[in-house]
């Protein structure tokens, strides 16, 4: 369960937020929540007018603060990032405070009644999940693009035109991408904070709709299925190719033995 429902750092009617996917995982061991803050997602201790929420699956959401504060926090988290990305994936948003009702306007601006920690934690969660989905979408699309030439050649000629080693490298990359995406955070899962604050359920649903978390998660599942089927097919064909080569080798060995026996008979 999570706690903390006090006011976040004050904002003059609006706040800027940005989620950053830093790597495969974020080691939060030894880090404690800010005094009076939230534990899941972990609210990090920060300076005035600055909030940061960290997620074990490699993301951090920064709300308010200055560029220098952001840089200092990211530098502090750097050693804790497992398999860091070459370039963090960012999902920005603008938050307007003092709205009559929580929600998202047609321009994508997030509207909040106030800057309470539970509300901002929900926004941080949605932004972080959106950044994670963006990274997974790019990774799986690249994997499918890498497999497409082999599949196209198979459809055109009925056989694998590429060397076995190249195919094995592509299949290995596909299996790796599939494994990482399968273990991804479930983007449409409800945050634990809703157990303590069910009144924010509607805000959560609106954030899910705005960032299309359910639709994008379903699209990733379809891509995973496609990669799985293509990988299985290519592995089966590679095995068939090897079996065919072995059969040819056996036939050649038999022919050699027959020819050898024939010449030995002639010699006698």
> What would the two tokens of residue 84 be?
């860091």
Q: In this predicted structure, what is the pLDDT of residue 210?
A: 93
Inform me whether the pLDDT recorded for 43 exceeds 50. Answer: yes
Inform me whether the pLDDT recorded for 52 exceeds 70. Answer: yes
Which of these, 54, 216, 204, lies nearest to 134 by C-alpha position?
A: 216
- Indicate the pLDDT class of residue 238, thresholds 50, 70 and 90: low
Burial (0-12, 13-18, 19+ Cβ within 10 Å), 38: buried
Least confident window among 75-79, 109-113, 118-122, 132-136: 132-136
Give 35 or 209, the one with higher predicted confidence. Answer: 209
Q: In this predicted structure, what is the pLDDT of residue 91?
A: 95
Least confident window among 20-24, 41-45, 128-132, 185-189: 185-189
Exposure letters 89-119 (e unless 16+ CB within 10 A, then b): bebebebebeeeebbbeeeeebbbeebbbbb
- Give the integer Cα–Cα distance in Å for 145 and 159: 19
With H, G, I as helix, E, B as strand and everything else as coil, classify residue 22.
strand
- Give the integer Cα–Cα distance in Å for 38 and 55: 12
Mean pLDDT of 131-150: 82
Q: In this predicted structure, what is the pLDDT of residue 140?
A: 81
Mean pLDDT of 14-40: 86
> What would the two tokens of residue 48 be?
């005035």
Give 136 or 165, the one with higher predicted confidence. Answer: 136
Least confident window among 50-64, 135-149, 175-189, 199-213: 175-189
Inform me whether the pLDDT recorded for 59 exceeds 70. Answer: yes
Q: In this predicted structure, what is the pLDDT of residue 253?
A: 63
Percent of the chain at pLDDT > 90 equals 36
Mean pLDDT of 203-211: 93
Q: Give residue limits of the domains in the chain.
A: 14-128, 134-267
Q: In this predicted structure, what is the pLDDT of residue 8?
A: 40
Cis peptide before 41, with omega less than 30 degrees from 0?
yes
- Give the integer Cα–Cα distance in Å for 241 and 264: 35
Inform me whether the pLDDT recorded for 28 exceeds 60. Answer: yes
Q: In this predicted structure, what is the pLDDT of residue 11?
A: 43
- Indicate the pLDDT class of residue 242, thresholds 50, 70 and 90: low
Q: Are the C-beta atoms of residues 22 and 81 closer than 8 Å to each other?
A: yes
Give 141 or 86, the one with higher predicted confidence. Answer: 86
How do residues 216-226 score in pLDDT, each as one tens digit? 888 888 887 77
* Mean pLDDT estimate for the chain: 79
């Amino acid at each position: 369960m999570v706690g903390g429902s006090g006011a976040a750092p004050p904002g003059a009617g609006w706040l800027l937020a940005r989620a950053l996917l830093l790597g495969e995982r974020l080691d939060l061991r030894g880090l404690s929540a800010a005094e009076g803050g939230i534990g899941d997602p972990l609210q990090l201790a920060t300076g005035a007018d600055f909030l940061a929420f960290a997620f074990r699956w490699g993301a951090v959401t920064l709300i308010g603060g200055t560029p220098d504060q952001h840089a200092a926090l990211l530098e502090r988290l750097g050693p804790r990032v497992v398999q860091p990305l070459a370039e963090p994936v960012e999902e920005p948003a603008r938050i307007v405070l003092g709205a009559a009702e929580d929600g998202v306007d047609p321009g994508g601006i997030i509207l909040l009644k106030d800057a309470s920690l539970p509300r901002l934690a929900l926004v941080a969660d949605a932004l972080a999940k959106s950044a994670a989905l963006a990274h997974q979408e790019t990774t799986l699309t690249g994997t499918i693009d890498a497999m497409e030439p082999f599949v196209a050649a198979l459809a055109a000629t009925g056989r694998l035109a590429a060397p076995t080693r190249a195919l094995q490298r592509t299949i290995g990359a596909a299996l790796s991408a599939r494994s990482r995406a399968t273990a991804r955070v479930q983007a449409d899962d409800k945050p634990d904070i809703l157990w303590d604050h069910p009144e924010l359920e509607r805000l959560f649903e609106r954030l899910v709709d705005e960032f299309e978390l359910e639709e994008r998660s379903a699209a990733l599942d379809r891509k995973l299925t496609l990669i799985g089927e293509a990988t299985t097919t290519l592995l089966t064909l590679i095995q068939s190719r090897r079996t065919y080569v072995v059969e040819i080798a056996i036939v050649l060995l038999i022919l050699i033995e027959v020819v050898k026996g024939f010449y030995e008979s002639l010699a006698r």
